[in-house]
Chain A
Amino acid sequence: MKIGLTSVFVDDQQHARQFYTEVLGFRIKHDIPFGEDSWLTVVSPEDPDGTELLLEPAGHPAVKPYRDALMEDGIPLAQFQVTDVASEHARLTGLGVQFTQGPTDIGTAVIAVCDDTCGNLIQLVAPVQS
């Protein structure tokens, strides 16, 4: 068994498509009309056949209170791995991305937490080479 696809809820798929590709740097893998929405997935250009991330519409009424509570406490909903958190923090800050937690060394990794402007906090993580 392996994880082929995971998902985050997004407020607006069109905006999410732009943020996840132009700002974060992912690539669209699937964009298939599905009722009023799309089956919209992205992959990393470093691993185009790897795990897909589904940008799923946040329309279900349970989603808003769930995500608002996590957002209030600063809890990220997904983790993306990068090679260097400090340089990614600098790059994204330059593009106007807001961070709720700057680069932090937690011993086994360096992490940071940013707002994906789609209703989620995202943790960036770079494992420390031992």
Chain B
Amino acid sequence: MADIYRALADETRRLLMDELAAGEGKTLFELCGALTMGHGLTMSRQAISQHLTVLEDAGLITTQRRGRSKFHYFTPAPLAEIQQRWPNERTPS
């Protein structure tokens, strides 16, 4: 599994997470449209697909088939690793 820090270290991947965190599962087509029309990114479909693979390897998104199409969903659970490692409250030493 790719570590979440590398997965988060890219603005395009963070935008993809924003798009998926905002709503329902989305197809690659919808995500490409959102990045192009919503964020002015000009990036190939293949490049976006590769970014999604990095996020999926890090456990930050999952994919699920509905009918014959593949939908991407945001799964924030791995982000808890950051919180656990560096909690908000300082622990007394």
Chain A contacts to B: CB under 8 angstroms: 68, 71-76, 98, 100-102, 104, 106-108, 111, 113, 115, 121
Contact A107 B27 (CB under 8 A): no
Q: Kindly report which residue of chain B lies nearest to residue A98, judged by CB atoms.
A: B67
Query: Chain A: interface secondary structure?
Result: mixed
Q: Which of A100, A111, A113, A121 has the most CB of B within 10 A?
A: A100
Contact A121 B69 (CB under 8 A): yes
- Cα distance A38–B85 when bound, in Å? 66
Contact B67 A115 (CB under 8 A): yes
Partner of B68, one of A71, A76, A104, A107: A71
Chain B contacts to A: CB under 8 angstroms: 24, 26-30, 33, 37-38, 45, 49, 66-71
The answer to whether A76 and B29 touch (CB under 8 A), given A68-B68, A100-B69, is: yes
Q: Kindly report which residue of chain A lies nearest to residue B33, judged by CB atoms.
A: A106
Contact A74 B67 (CB under 8 A): no
B38 cross-chain contacts in A, Cβ below 8 A: 106
- Cα distance A102–B38 when bound, in Å? 16
- Cα distance A71–B30 when bound, in Å? 12
- Cα distance A104–B37 when bound, in Å? 11
The answer to whether A72 and B70 touch (CB under 8 A), given A101-B27, A106-B33, is: yes
The answer to whether A75 and B67 touch (CB under 8 A), given A106-B37, A107-B37, is: no
